[in-house]
Amino acid sequence: MKKSLLVNIGFIISALLCLAAKDGYSQNSLYSTIQQISDTSSGQLGVSILHLESGEKVSLNGDKKFPMQSVYKFPIAMAVLQEIDKEKFSLDDSIAIHKSEYIPKAGHSPIRDQFPEGVTMTLRDILAYNVSHSDGTACDVLLRILGGTEKAEKKIHGLGIKDIAISTTEMVQVAHDTIQYQNWSTPDAMNDLLVVFFKGKDLSENSRQFLLKLMSYSNPWFDRRIKGLLPKETPLVHKTGTAATYNGLTRATNDVGIITLPDQSHLVISVFISDSYDSQSKRESIIASVSKAAFDHWSLPN
């Protein structure tokens, strides 16, 4: 990705926010800024933002369905940790992974690549591969021990979050590009799930801290989206999701997470881009620009 693209868009966003400051940083001014960013995208942009401590919200297409891609590994991890809290499993349980469970080569799977003949590893490590390394094989193993996609979805719906669908495995999703639309969420629903997770209402504190750690994992590939234009030291827990590109079309480019602002308050943010013909750097810069606009909105003095 060209860093200059993010920097240039950052200057544009800063200028827009300076104009918005004259309007007292109203929610409408932030919405207008996000709409202007959306107008630069060839795809559909979905955004849901909540300032957790004040309850202030901004949403664009927040009630629309977007394919989650690997973002769904976050709710699946939550479902597994709920079972661990009920002592149905333990983080230290050893789980055998047969090579027949490996997702196709088109999908991302460090486990498949590192252990071509199969491997046995702890549930703790499988969760880490699933969340921190976005491993599709790890995701399917977690779905297997949960009893399938239907049971995983039921556990999330049981938290009161209905507008999330977990319908297919990574094995199926990787092999058939359009299947990914069956694993969908609205931006508002994903934000609601992030709030449930962050407040720790349905997970033990040990499980909550464990998942926070996994979602805090940072590398240059993941940090070009929500974190792309934020101050380098900004704490972020998040989960990305990305579809393959076919004939120039990318069906999903996503990032969802929780930003800790300089005053130690929190922004819950979900950004989805569907059906885009833009380059990857352009798609990621759009997510970064939305995040920067929200960060500045609640960080800069009125």
Q: Is the pTM of this model over 0.85?
A: yes
Q: How far apart are CA 222 and CA 159, in angstroms?
A: 28
Enzyme catalytic residues: 70, 170
- Find the radius of gyration of the CA atoms of the chain: 19
Confidence of residue 36 (pLDDT cuts 50, 70, 90): very high
Say whether pLDDT at 14 is over 60.
Answer: no
HSE, CB side, 13 Å, CA atoms: give it for residue 293: 32
Domains, the chain: 3-299 (3.40.710.10)
Q: How far apart are CA 166 and CA 147, in angstroms?
A: 13
For the segment 61-116, what is each residue's pLDDT rounded down to a tens digit? 999 999 999 999 999 999 999 999 999 999 999 999 999 999 999 999 999 999 99
Say whether pLDDT at 3 is over 60.
Answer: no
Q: How far apart are CA 285 and CA 282, in angstroms?
A: 5
pLDDT of residue 5: 54
